Amino acid sequence: MSTEDENDLIFRALSHRVRRRIIDLLKVEPLTTGTLCAQMPELDRCTVMQHLGVLEEVGLVVAERRGRERWNHLDALPIHAIHERWIGPYAAYAVSMLSRLRQQVEA
């Protein structure tokens, strides 16, 4: 699978607000599936599991079995790769533009 295809899958996975909420919860600490379900009482367990499955498929979540519990860990490397490609260069450009503007104003 090409990098472009992988990026498409990651963007598609992040397009749903429930999956973004799961990512936000997991960025603080790994959580069990039960804890994630408790954080989203408006959803049933099956729905939460489906969203976790999508996140796992694209490599954003890694599940670890510990006895009867399933611990979900965030793998932020795919998001970091997208940041490096899309956000980093634009942010650097914006900072350089602001710096030039400041120099012009001060001159």
Say which residue the tokens 């796992």 belong to: 56
CA distance 58 to 64: 16
Burial (CB < 10 A; 0-12, 13-18, 19+), residue 75, is middle
Total-model pTM:
0.78
Output DSSP code: residue 44. -
pLDDT value at residue 7: 84
pLDDT value at residue 38: 97
Between strands 31-32 and 61-66, the pairing is unpaired
Same domain as 5, residue 21: yes
pLDDT value at residue 29: 97
As for how many domains the chain has, the answer is: 2
Question: Structural domain of residue 81, as residue ranges?
Answer: 76-107
pLDDT value at residue 82: 83
Q: Do the beta carbons of residue 27 and residue 74 sit within 8 Å?
A: yes
Residue positions counted in the chain: 107
Same domain as 33, residue 46: yes
Same domain as 96, residue 60: no
Token pair of 34 as six digits: 């039960």
pLDDT value at residue 15: 95
Computed on alpha carbons and rounded to an integer, the radius of gyration of the chain in Å comes to 19
Positions in the chain short of pLDDT 70: 1
Same domain as 106, residue 57: no
pLDDT value at residue 2: 72
Same domain as 56, residue 12: yes
Same domain as 87, residue 65: no
